[in-house]
Structure 1
Amino acid sequence: MAPQEGERMRELNQKGRLETRPSRAFTLIELLVVIAIIGVLVGLLLPAVQAAREAARRLQCSNNLKQIALGFHNYHSAHRQLPRQQDPVNRHTWAVGILPFIEQGAIYERYDFDVAWNAVENREIIQTNISTYLCPTTPDNRSFANDGGFPTATTDYVPPGSIAAEFNKSGHITRRKNPNGMLKGSKVTRFRDALDGLSNTLLMTECAGRPQFFVKNRLGPSTNVNGCGNADVTQSLAKWGGWANPGHSIPIHGFQGDGLTCTGPYVINKTNNNEAYSFHTGGLQINLADGSVRFISEQISADVFASLITYQEHEVVGEF
C-alpha cells in the first residue's frame, strides 16, 4: 500500500470515529430545571392571557349594550316612542321591537305579531340565540330557559322595570314616590318623559347567566325561597330569562351579603335571580338612556342605583 493511501485510510477511520461518537444527553436534573422554567413562564403568562381575553369579552359586552341603546334610539325616531317592555295584547317585548335596528331584520320578519309571544307560530323564532343579547363573559351563554314549558333563547341584558315595593320601604334606600323604570309593563314612554335627564336614567342592565341560578359567581343551591316578593328558585333555575319572555324585566329587590336573602343593601352581583348580575370582575355594565355605556362597581350605593332606575324623581346622579 502506498504511503499516501495509508494516510488517507487513517483519516477516513478517524473521521468515522468522530461521526459515530454519541452526542451528550440531558441529565435528569437539567431536564427538571427546564420543565420548572417552562412552568414558571406559563404561570406568569397565563393570568395575562386570561386578563386580555376578559378585556376583549368585556369590550364585546359593551358593544352589545351600545348596539341595543342605538336600537332604542332608532326605534324612538321611527315610532316617536320607546318600545314597550311588553305590549298589552300579545305581550311582545322590546327585544322583538328593536330587532330591525340591530341587524336582525330577517328574524323580525318571521315573527308573528298577530299571536301571543309564546304561540306555536313563534316558538322557532324565540328559540333563536341572538348574539347581541348575550354577554360573551357569561358561561354557557347559549343555554335555554324553559319558563313556559318549552325552551326559549335567553338574554343577558334586561330593563330594570322598577324598585320593588319591599325594597322601596326597607330603609336601605330613600323611598321614591315613583319607583318605576323607563320600561315598565305595557306603559308607553318617550325620551322626553325622563325628567331626571337621559344621562341620569338607566335603560338596560346585565342580568346574566339565567336560567342557571348563580350566587356570588358560583352555582347556587337547588332551591331558594328568598322572600321580599322575588321569584323563588326551584330545580337550580332562576326564572324569566328568555329574550322574548315579557317576564325577563327585573324589579330590584336588594339582597343580603349571602345572595340568598332579600331585602338587603346589595344591588349588584349577589345573585342573578331577577337581580342585576354579571360575570365581570368587580361590577357590571349598563347603558343609559342617552346611549352611553358605563361599567359600574358592585360596591355602588343602593341609593345611587335606585336613582339610576327611576326617571321622574328629578334626581341628578353625578359621578358613580
Structure 2
Amino acid sequence: MPITNKIVHNMPPQVSEMSGPNSPRSAFTIVELLVVIAIIGVLVALLLPAIEMARESSRRSACSNNLRQHAIAVKLHEQSHKTFPTGGWHGWLGDPSAGYGPKQPGGWIYNILSFIEHDSLRQLGKGLSGMPKEQAMVTLMESPIDVFQCPSRRLPRTYPYTGPELKNAKPPKDVAKSDYAINAEISYEKSEVIMPDIQLRGKGASNTILAGEKSLSSENYTNGTGIGDTLVAYVGDSDDIRRSGSGAPMPDRTAGIRFGGPHPGGVNIAYCDGSVRFVGDDEELVPTK
C-alpha cells in the first residue's frame, strides 16, 4: 500500500467549526436558577417539620421511659417496705437517718433513690451531724438526676431555688428539680398507702394514676419561679412533687397545679400497674369506668 494512503487513513477527523472557543455553550439562566432555589426552599420547608416531629417523638419516648423507671422503682419500694413511698413532711428535706415511712421527711423522689441506682445520694449525710451533714445535704440538693427531667423541657442540671427556707437544710442558690409528680392520693404528707388500697378499695392498679409529668409554664423552665417548681426535688410533701389526678391534663402553654407537659397533644402518665400511657389534652385523667 502506498505511503500516502497510510498517512491519509491515520489522520484524525476534521474538527467541526462549531467546536471552537467561540462556540455557544448551554448554561442556567437567572430565571432557571431562581426556580431551582425556590424548589429547594419548598422541599426544606416540607422536611423540617417532619424532622422536628421525629425528634419530638424520640423525646416523648424518652420521657415515657423515665416514668417507666419511676413505676418500677415505686413497685420495688412497695415490695420492700409494703407501702407506696410516703409523701414526707411539708417544708423539710429528706433525711438519710430517718429511714422509710411516716418518720421520713423526704418525699417520694427521695424515697425511691435507692431503687433507681442512686443509693449513694440517698445515703449522703447518714450518721453525720453539724457542718458535715449540712455540706452533705447541699451536695444532695445540687445533684440532678436525668430520669427526673423531661428531655422536651429542660436539661438535667441545677436551676434556681426560689422557695422558702427548709426546716432542716439550707438550700444552695441552684438545686436539682423534677419534671414529674406523684398522684396526691398515692403519696401525701406522712402517708402509708398499701397496695390493697389501690386494688380492692380503689379503681384498680391499671386505672389509678401513679405519677406523671407536672404542668409547668414554658416561660419558667429555667428560672425556678414557676408554680410548683420553686423548691428542690428531694423535699417532702409539696406542689413541686405531687399533683391531683382529677380533670384533664394542663399543657405547659396554659400551666397550673395539674399533670401536664410540653408534648403536643397530651401528657405521659404512669399507672400503678407499671404501664405508661399518653393521655390526650382533651381526655379525663381518671377514667369514669
Using the size of structure 2 for normalisation, the TM-score is: 0.72
Identify which of 181, 188, 200 aligns with 1:184.
188
> Are 1:208 and 1:277, in contact at CA under 8 Å, matched by a contact in 2?
yes
- Where 1:66 maps in the other structure, the secondary structure is helix
Q: Deviations over 1:33-83 (max 9, x none)?
A: 111111111121111111111111111111111110000111111222222
Residues 37 and 252 from structure 1, CA distance in 2 versus in 1: closer, same or farther, beyond 3 angstroms?
same
> Are 1:90 and 1:114, in contact at CA under 8 Å, matched by a contact in 2?
no
CA distance in 1, matches of 2:47, 2:119: 43
> Are 2:77 and 2:112, in contact at CA under 8 Å, matched by a contact in 1?
yes
What's 2:257 paired with? Answer: 274
The within-5 A match list for 1:144-163 is: 144-146=159-161, 147=163, 148=165, 149-150=171-172, 151-161=174-184
> Are 1:267 and 1:298, in contact at CA under 8 Å, matched by a contact in 2?
yes
CA distance in 2, matches of 1:63, 1:235: 25
What's 1:200 paired with? Answer: 207
Match of 1:103, as an amino acid?
A: E
CA distance in 2, matches of 1:61, 1:189: 26
TM-fit CA distance, 1:154: 1.0
The within-5 A match list for 1:124-273 is: 124-139=139-154, 142=157, 144-146=159-161, 147=163, 148=165, 149-150=171-172, 151-161=174-184, 181-194=185-198, 195-196=201-202, 197-209=204-216, 214=217, 218-219=218-219, 236-238=225-227, 239-240=229-230, 242-246=232-236, 247=238, 248-252=240-244, 268-269=250-251, 271-273=254-256
- Where 2:54 maps in the other structure, the secondary structure is helix
The within-5 A match list for 1:115-130 is: 119-130=134-145
Identify which of 98, 106, 112 aligns with 1:98.
112
> Are 1:144 and 1:154, in contact at CA under 8 Å, matched by a contact in 2?
yes
Residues 249 and 201 from structure 1, CA distance in 2 versus in 1: closer, same or farther, beyond 3 angstroms?
same
Alignment RMSD (CA, Å):
3.6
> Are 1:83 and 1:98, in contact at CA under 8 Å, matched by a contact in 2?
yes
Larger radius of gyration: 2
> Are 1:92 and 1:113, in contact at CA under 8 Å, matched by a contact in 2?
no
What's 1:170 paired with? Answer: none
What's 1:294 paired with? Answer: 277
> Are 2:66 and 2:147, in contact at CA under 8 Å, matched by a contact in 1?
yes
Match of 1:269, as an amino acid?
A: P
TM-fit CA distance, 1:236: 5.0
TM-fit CA distance, 1:219: 2.6
CA distance in 1, matches of 2:262, 2:219: 12
What's 1:47 paired with? Answer: 49
Residues 74 and 277 from structure 1, CA distance in 2 versus in 1: closer, same or farther, beyond 3 angstroms?
same
> Are 1:286 and 1:293, in contact at CA under 8 Å, matched by a contact in 2?
yes
Residues 251 and 141 from structure 1, CA distance in 2 versus in 1: closer, same or farther, beyond 3 angstroms?
same
What's 2:94 paired with? Answer: none
TM-fit CA distance, 1:89: 5.1
Residues 129 and 25 from structure 1, CA distance in 2 versus in 1: closer, same or farther, beyond 3 angstroms?
farther
Match of 1:47, as an amino acid?
A: P
CA distance in 2, matches of 1:13, 1:140: 69
Match of 2:207, as an amino acid?
A: N
